[in-house]
Structure 1
Amino acid sequence: MNLKKARPGDLDPDFGDNGQVIFTSPDVLQFTPWAINVDSEQRIYVAGHALRTGVGNQYFCMRLTSTGQPDKDFGQAGYVFGTFGDNISHQVGEVLVQKNDNKPLLISTFGQTKAVMRLNLDGSRDLSYGKDGVAIIPTGASMRSDEVETAASGTGGTSHSTLLSDGKLLLIAEVWVGSSVHHSLVVRLNTDGTLDNQFGEQGITRVRHPDFDGTLLLGSLELENENENEMKYLLSGAVLKQGQHDRALFMRLLPSGKLDTSFADEGYKVVLSEFRTGFYPDKLILQTNHRLLGVGHTYDARDAGLLISREMDGSENIQFNGGRPLLESNGALRNKWTNALIQNDGKILVHGSTLNAQSGEDKNAVARFTDDGQLDTSFGISFPVRQAYRPAAWFTGNTVLFLGTIKVDETKYVHCIARGVIA
């Protein structure tokens, strides 16, 4: 890759068409991408749903080469379309890639069920997974559609689910009753797509904080407990109560799926907002010294990018912003952090969208913070691509991949994936 002719903030000229790839297929009226992932061969997966002529809505998965060219060895000209089955949503909210064989997993959202499909490397359905290639997880109640823009939807763009070190899959599903969250599900699937009966009740743990009306889980992370030589599952999200601002939630589960009551306050850590706004840590990553960093956004009175750093026991990390949640708006009307990366020196790169007060456009942007939560004012980067409907990003060394929308004529905008230079 030749980045000498490109500067930070530019689109990478060695990717696609001057840094971007527009989704195109002869029979597709509209693409709505939701998720990005990259495999060990640096092939890029983009997934979402598409409106097809004469067919209607279906999921789509596209594979690109590392230089942004459609991979002709995958599906038809790089695209795969289809449905999960009867009464299962066509919407793909996540795409994950197995570490051992690079097979992609497509995860659906919305409706009465959650489903996972595994594809072979040529794009065909892997019939050895689940039933005819699809693992189906009934939830027993309606699941929230992320197509509705509310406080808790359209927020992450990165995977809520986690591929575990043993090859199993940890899933999160939000179950809704009416207009408010009733509870969340944490599901563990075996490598063949069957429910893992060693976890929770027949593979499913239902989570609801007893002191709140609703519990919304958004991020997950597997972590080895060195003292006990076992893997535990860290989860982030929000708790909701009628008439109050939503509060950030961190919690930890044991490998059995039971609540780890040694974490924080009997297994839960609720973080209050002193800014009269809702907190939504959509993604969890590890900082230096094994500290937890919740990455996301606020909502309501002050829309800003949100970072919350905690110690492994759930207590405040006083080394980070004095232990307080860090909100960053940088003068914008709205900021949201989508993904983050810890650099070798401990500094934190965050990707997100920022709404410019003058132009009124959401731009894709990258900011950098020190390990103790100080904004690096010498670094801020924005890219000449508007935010996509569903923000998603993937850091790739000196560049970042992200979803966006671009204008193709005076009135029409189309979705794309772009790669921007950050160093």
Structure 2
Amino acid sequence: MKLHALVYCPALVFCRSVVLGALMVCLSFMKHASGAPGDFDPTFGLDGRVFTALPGWIDYRARTVKILDDGKLLVAGTCANVETEQAQYGACIVRYDAYGLVDATFGINGQAFMPFNPIARSVVLAVRPNGKVLVAAACYEVGYKTCVGQFDANGTPDPLFGNAGVARFYVSDDYTPTHNSSLLVEAGGTLVVGGFCEISGDLRWCLVRLNEDGSRGGAFTVVAFVRAYVSSTTDGETPSLLETPSGQIIVASSCATATQTRFCAVRYLQDGRIDTGFGVNGLALVTTPFGRSSYAKSAVQQPNGGIVIAGLCSNDNGPEDSCVARFTPSGRVDAAFGVGGIQVVTTLPNGFDGFFGVTALPSNEVLGAGYCYVDQQSSETLGCVARFTATGLLDVRFAVGGSASLRLFLNGSAGPMAVTSDPSGRVIIASECHTFQEWTDKYFCLARLKGGPYLASACTLNADANNTIAASSDVMLVTRYLLGFRGDALTVGAIGAGSTKTAGEIATYLDSLKNDPLKKLDLDGDGESLAMTDGLLMLRAMLGLSGDALTTGAIGKPSAAYPTLRSAQQILQWIETTHGVACLP
């Protein structure tokens, strides 16, 4: 029996025996759905994906994504306002709710715009504890400058920051800044802005501190003592800024020598001096195998304090592969990660251009995202992701063998990736994408991937409280309970392996769910908890069904008290929010 055949399972009507008999027939034929870590999350957008282009704006290029404390998403990049006499480029921010809908309460119809001219389409994003939103980019205004814009939490430019919401400045009077900027909100509210500076033909990274109002923060200007590497495109090669719990600043990037470019990191004290206790005299370097060079595109700090840098590894005549490396909190190469502190991935599809984004997951796993070509002859690109265990091995529990190539845009190609993750380990990817027919017609594209695997204890629909979420036990128990069965009639043949719960304990627990003010067994939102609707919806949801296959014939009727029932996607979202992401396959 195919999954969609459950729509035609015998109707759960007439009497308890018919309901239970129909359910047992369905369960005897059905297997658990194939939803797994790395699959698109159907509770987000349209089958896990979102595409955004708002009226009056063109050429969207997403470069960064943040999750807010309330679960909403901010995506920042560049776009152009076509309603001006000439298309005006600037930094664009779009806010989405937790499920991928544009939040029209932010800015104007969900979007905020800062009219400065970003170079190389590179925009970075930060959020203050009070909700104010910051964007930064290298910009060109009578020479190369750094521009930082601040918005109130509602997306309105903050008139108290800089000049009408934008601070424009040279990083240093002595050095010429060029390309790309980084941004860090320090615990005390000050900002650290980073970028590349050209010194006698050498590129180095430079840091400057700003006060909360966007003015320069005293004499704090740092010029790196090592040469930075920046390619001719510089897209995505912004030095990453991280803050340690004790307030030190870590810059992670690539450092160039005469023969090799390597992932590197430097730690600075609050006053801008090199922290010589970090790495070797303040510098952390990792060697890439086989004489390859490694080019950093993103970095992140793990919950355990590990410093992870991700990007591209290659040499002049060899293949280009994605790679990720880890330093300990003290700046030593972490020999427990990968091979000698670095892991090179050769299993991703053709033309993989390295990880443009990297995120740290709750249990110290790491996930990198970039783009790759469909085949060697194609210009069509896909999103490519790989998840690593805490020891740097490909996590075989994720996707297929630890990595996946994803069609983020159904009718076109995807560009550079930004990535983050939520507390449950779900992964959110932001990208630019365009149609096959029109390369200049670009969109903000988002996708959310399933996390996990999760512990069964994280799902409150685990009625028998064992180590498995199963339709054949947990859904059976809930359905029997809703039919009024108690005692042995509730539990015989419906208890999963390893459960120690008695019939009385299970009934008491399900009483608490049903009688909760949130009506935690009312899946369709009609105000009632019924086996013929809510029990069937729970069964289908746990089997991985969505859309019409989830709801056809299984939704109650609206009433004056409950005029609007939940849609299929809202039911899945409600299950995750009310009972936990572990409940769905």
Please state which band the TM-score falls in when normalised by the shorter chain. 0.7 to 0.9
Whether the aligned pair in 1 keeps the contact of 2:81 and 2:89 (CA below 8 Å) is: yes
Whether the aligned pair in 2 keeps the contact of 1:236 and 1:282 (CA below 8 Å) is: no
Distance 1:39 1:322, change over 3 A: same
Whether the aligned pair in 2 keeps the contact of 1:213 and 1:241 (CA below 8 Å) is: no
Which structure 2 residues correspond to residues 136-215 of structure 1 after superposition, within 5 A? 136-139=168-171, 140=173, 142-145=176-179, 160-176=182-198, 181-197=202-218, 202-209=219-226, 212=227
Give 1:33 shift: 2.3
Which residue of structure 2 aligns with residue 306 of structure 1? Answer: 323
> For 1:292 and 1:168, how far apart are their aligned partners in 2?
23
Report the AA paired with residue 308 of structure 1: A
> For 2:334 and 2:435, how far apart are their aligned partners in 1?
47
Give the TM-score, by structure 2 length: 0.60
> For 2:108 and 2:449, how far apart are their aligned partners in 1?
30
SS of the residue corresponding to residue 389 of structure 1 reads strand
Residue 367 in structure 1 maps to residue 390 in structure 2: no
Whether the aligned pair in 1 keeps the contact of 2:322 and 2:355 (CA below 8 Å) is: yes
Which residue of structure 1 aligns with residue 416 of structure 2? Answer: 390
Give 1:182 shift: 2.5
Distance 1:269 1:11, change over 3 A: closer
Give 1:256 shift: 0.6
Please give the per-residue CA displacement for 1:301-356, whole angstroms capped at 9, x wherever unaligned: 33222221222332222222342421112153325223334444433333333444
Question: Highest CA radius of gyration, 1 or 2?
Answer: 2
Which structure 2 residues correspond to residues 289-304 of structure 1 after superposition, within 5 A? 289-300=304-315, 301-304=318-321
SS of the residue corresponding to residue 275 of structure 1 reads helix
Which residue of structure 1 aligns with residue 333 of structure 2? Answer: 316
Give 1:68 shift: 1.9
Which residue of structure 1 aligns with residue 430 of structure 2? Answer: 403
The counterpart of 1:381, out of the listed 391, 398, 404, is 404
Which structure 2 residues correspond to residues 236-385 of structure 1 after superposition, within 5 A? 236-241=252-257, 244-287=259-302, 289-300=304-315, 301-333=318-350, 334-357=352-375, 360=378, 361-379=380-398, 380-385=403-408
> For 1:288 and 1:83, how far apart are their aligned partners in 2?
36
Report the AA paired with residue 248 of structure 2: K
Report the AA paired with residue 392 of structure 1: A
Distance 1:354 1:43, change over 3 A: same
> For 2:326 and 2:131, how far apart are their aligned partners in 1?
32
Whether the aligned pair in 1 keeps the contact of 2:62 and 2:432 (CA below 8 Å) is: no
Give the TM-score, by structure 1 length: 0.81
Please give the per-residue CA displacement for 1:186-210, whole angstroms capped at 9, x wherever unaligned: 122222222222xxxx23211132x
SS of the residue corresponding to residue 68 of structure 1 reads coil
Residue 135 in structure 1 maps to residue 156 in structure 2: no
| Structure 2 segments unaligned to the other structure (5+ residues) | 1-32, 231-236, 452-585
Whether the aligned pair in 2 keeps the contact of 1:173 and 1:186 (CA below 8 Å) is: yes
Whether the aligned pair in 2 keeps the contact of 1:264 and 1:314 (CA below 8 Å) is: yes
> For 1:264 and 1:117, how far apart are their aligned partners in 2?
34
Whether the aligned pair in 1 keeps the contact of 2:303 and 2:362 (CA below 8 Å) is: no
Whether the aligned pair in 1 keeps the contact of 2:382 and 2:405 (CA below 8 Å) is: yes
> For 1:91 and 1:349, how far apart are their aligned partners in 2?
24
Report the AA paired with residue 256 of structure 2: L
> For 1:350 and 1:93, how far apart are their aligned partners in 2?
19
Whether the aligned pair in 1 keeps the contact of 2:312 and 2:322 (CA below 8 Å) is: yes
How many residues end up aligned between the 2 structures? 392
Distance 1:291 1:82, change over 3 A: closer
Give 1:257 shift: 0.5
Distance 1:321 1:37, change over 3 A: closer
Report the AA paired with residue 331 of structure 2: G
Which stretch has the larger CA shift, 13-22 or 164-173? 13-22
> For 2:397 and 2:435, how far apart are their aligned partners in 1?
33
- The structure with the largest helix share of the pair is 2
Which residue of structure 2 aligns with residue 233 of structure 1? Answer: 249
> For 1:92 and 1:236, how far apart are their aligned partners in 2?
17
Whether the aligned pair in 2 keeps the contact of 1:294 and 1:308 (CA below 8 Å) is: yes
SS of the residue corresponding to residue 290 of structure 2 reads coil
The counterpart of 1:65, out of the listed 93, 97, 101, is 97
Which residue of structure 2 aligns with residue 125 of structure 1? Answer: 157
Report the AA paired with residue 53 of structure 2: T
The counterpart of 1:422, out of the listed 433, 450, 460, is 450
> For 1:407 and 1:114, how far apart are their aligned partners in 2?
29
Distance 1:184 1:344, change over 3 A: closer
| Structure 1 segments unaligned to the other structure (5+ residues) | 147-158, 225-229
Distance 1:345 1:133, change over 3 A: closer
> For 2:122 and 2:254, how far apart are their aligned partners in 1?
23
> For 1:71 and 1:285, how far apart are their aligned partners in 2?
28
Identity %: 20
SS of the residue corresponding to residue 231 of structure 1 reads coil
Give 1:104 shift: 0.9
Report the AA paired with residue 350 of structure 1: G
Report the AA paired with residue 55 of structure 2: P
Whether the aligned pair in 2 keeps the contact of 1:291 and 1:309 (CA below 8 Å) is: yes
- The structure with the largest strand share of the pair is 1
Aligned-CA RMSD value: 3.1
Which residue of structure 1 aligns with residue 241 of structure 2? Answer: 220
> For 1:26 and 1:288, how far apart are their aligned partners in 2?
40
Distance 1:261 1:125, change over 3 A: same
Whether the aligned pair in 1 keeps the contact of 2:61 and 2:442 (CA below 8 Å) is: no
Give 1:8 shift: 4.3
Distance 1:5 1:135, change over 3 A: farther
Whether the aligned pair in 2 keeps the contact of 1:62 and 1:79 (CA below 8 Å) is: yes
